[in-house]
Amino acid sequence: MKFSEMPYTRVDMEAVKDRMMTLIANAKNARSGEELFENHRKYYKLTGEVETMWTIASIRHGIDTTDPFYEAEHDFYDEAGPLFQNLMQTYARTLYESPFRPYMEEKIGKVAFKNIEIALKSFDEKLIPMLQEENALTTRYMKLMANVKIEFNGETCNLTRMRVYQTHQDRSIRKAATKALSDYFLSVTDELDEIYDKLVKNRTAQARALGYENYVQLGYYRMGRNDYCRADVERFRKQVKESFVPFVSKINAARTARLGIFDPKFYDAGVFFNEGNPDPVGTPEEILESGRKMYHELSPETAEFIDFMLENELFDVLGRPNKQQGGYMTFLPVYKAPFIFANFNGTSADVDVITHECGHAFQGFLMRDEEIREYGDIGMETAEIHSMSMEYFTYGWMQSFFGDRYRDYLKMHFEDSCTFVPYGCMVDEFQHIVYENPDMTPAERKQVWAELEKSYRPDIDFDGDPFFGQGGYWQRQQHIFNSPFYYIDYVLASVCAMQFKVRMDEDFEGAWKTYLKLCRFAARDFYRNMLADAGLDSPFAEGTVEKLVNALETRL
């Protein structure tokens, strides 16, 4: 079914509660493992129906954040979400405590029960009012970012449109664009500080209500971290500082020399060539059609996938005023359909959507007929491997998107991907410091960010900018507000995807077969076991980052 034709009805929470309480009672009274699993199938059906309606409402609200109907629906789910979560937690506890748990472990896997254990440590009914407040605060941030209006170059620009000017080949234009962006954020920084301060205090209160010292451990549980801990992440960040930061400094030096800039400033960081960054050729429709051709040539599986996506209108990728910023892939369980949301702006980022978000969607498509829904509960450190690796697997088709400048795109993508790794670690360390010190003032938080810049991005010169130069950049990183502790997953996945890049340079077909196996493996085992099965080095293992950097330097 085409997305535009999918019917929407607000979830009747009272009816859902009645059905869920029946499932909970049936689970408690089950007389065999077989009976318990049959009841669990009904749980799949109910939660799939709720998640589908909820997701449709969320997508349509994001498409136009000023639409009054879907704005009201979004607000409804902000309130209803924690109530539904409470019902699911109660049901999960019955499985966890069931005498037939060994049978269910055989059916849905040990990973599923580890995830239940973590979920039980991260939620309590008494948190519902705080969770509702947290949802309202994150929605407030998203609306503020979606409705940015900056007057520049004779037009009214949102954040997506401003990115075009920030990466302009004319240095004076990108400098002026970055100043306009800085001026805007200066005008709202107090409001953003207020929102984030309330979020930090809210999340800290949730953690303490559950008996934790601060939000860090609770944040890890909320991210479903079932196979590694904070100490592992700290060791990984240390490897990045030691190996990746110097490597990125070499990349930046080569890039600025290529540009002929000998006093590089922060507004030069997104530009890779004197003639400007390569932009895709063709209209958005032609980009999507090139994507169809590419995936038809890549494999039979990707051919089936892209036809399904395009024929069912499962993309909303055009940038528009009042549209939610960013991009993502989500899934509609009732229709067994992935959906991709993005904001095309005429830059190479449009093609990144066709590779990165399609990597997510392709994995979801491969798993669409899997009955055991718990196998789809992959951690984000795994999910991002699917997306980031697809960016590299599609390198051979970039001429279709960039014409004569496809080699420039490949160079830019490779350098930009490497440059991201230290930045992603900086975002993560910032959040650890903030939640370990929840009483910091907004000014102190900005000082923390400014200090981290020196460790992770020592080449950046903010040229005295009153916002970005004073530690304010993090305020435009939506994950910090909406998804605490998510961002390191991108970095962990980058290290794995780059290993695929090294492997596919040597044996593309072998690497692709392993990638397909990884996608289908999903959440059948824990993260490190899954990496070992795919022949990938764990990012946490000592020496992994150094070994990878050595391999990447030969490709630079």
Six-digit token string for 412: 């830019």
Helix (H) or strand (E) holding 344: strand 337-344
For the chain, the maximum distance between any two Cα atoms, rounded to a whole number of angstroms, is 75
Cβ atoms within 10 Å of 493's Cβ, excluding its own:
23
Is pLDDT above 90 for 538? yes
What angle is formed at CA 79 by the lines to CA 75 and CA 81, rounded to 5 degrees?
110
Q: What is the mean pLDDT of residues 50-58?
A: 98
How far apart, in whole angstroms, are the C-alpha atoms of residue 464 and residue 144?
26
How far apart, in whole angstroms, are the C-alpha atoms of residue 128 and residue 86?
8
How far apart, in whole angstroms, are the C-alpha atoms of residue 551 and residue 505?
11
pLDDT, mean over the chain:
96
- Alpha carbon 392 to chain centroid, angstroms: 18
Rounded to 5 degrees, φ, ψ at 330 are -135, 180
How far apart, in whole angstroms, are the C-alpha atoms of residue 137 and residue 135?
5
How far apart, in whole angstroms, are the C-alpha atoms of residue 425 and residue 434?
14
Residue 272's pLDDT is what? Answer: 96
Question: Tens digit of pLDDT for each residue in 236-295?
Answer: 999 999 999 999 999 999 999 999 999 999 999 999 999 999 999 999 999 999 999 999
Strand partners of residue 338 = 331
Q: What is the mean pLDDT of residues 123-149?
A: 94
Contacts (Cβ under 8 Å, ≥6 apart) of 503? 510, 511, 514, 535
Please answer whether residues 251 and 556 qualify as being in contact, where contact means their C-beta atoms are separated by less than 8 angstroms. yes
Please answer whether residues 136 and 65 qualify as being in contact, where contact means their C-beta atoms are separated by less than 8 angstroms. no
Question: Tens digit of pLDDT for each residue in 392-419?
Answer: 999 999 999 999 999 999 999 999 999 9
Contacts (Cβ under 8 Å, ≥6 apart) of 523? 109, 111, 112, 374, 375, 376, 377, 378, 379, 382
Confidence of residue 67 (pLDDT cuts 50, 70, 90): very high
Residue 325's pLDDT is what? Answer: 84
Strand partners of residue 157 = 150
- Model-wide pTM > 0.85: yes
What angle do the packed helices 245-259 and 544-553 form, to 10 degrees? 20
Residue 543's pLDDT is what? Answer: 96
How far apart, in whole angstroms, are the C-alpha atoms of residue 187 and residue 189?
6
How far apart, in whole angstroms, are the C-alpha atoms of residue 388 and residue 493?
7
- State the Rg of the chain over Cα: 23
Closest CA to 143 of 56, 54, 71: 71
Closest CA to 292 of 280, 283, 281, 304: 304
Residue 321's pLDDT is what? Answer: 86
Residue 320's pLDDT is what? Answer: 87
Is pLDDT above 90 for 360? yes
Residue 271's pLDDT is what? Answer: 96
Query: Can you give the residue ranges of every domain in the chain?
Result: 3-124, 284-415+488-540
Rounded to 5 degrees, φ, ψ at 158 are -95, -175
Residue 230's pLDDT is what? Answer: 96
Please answer whether residues 519 and 362 qualify as being in contact, where contact means their C-beta atoms are separated by less than 8 angstroms. yes
At 556, the amino acid letter reads L
Question: Tens digit of pLDDT for each residue in 88-131?
Answer: 999 999 999 999 999 999 999 999 999 999 999 999 999 999 99
Residue 556's pLDDT is what? Answer: 79
How far apart, in whole angstroms, are the C-alpha atoms of residue 520 and residue 501?
19
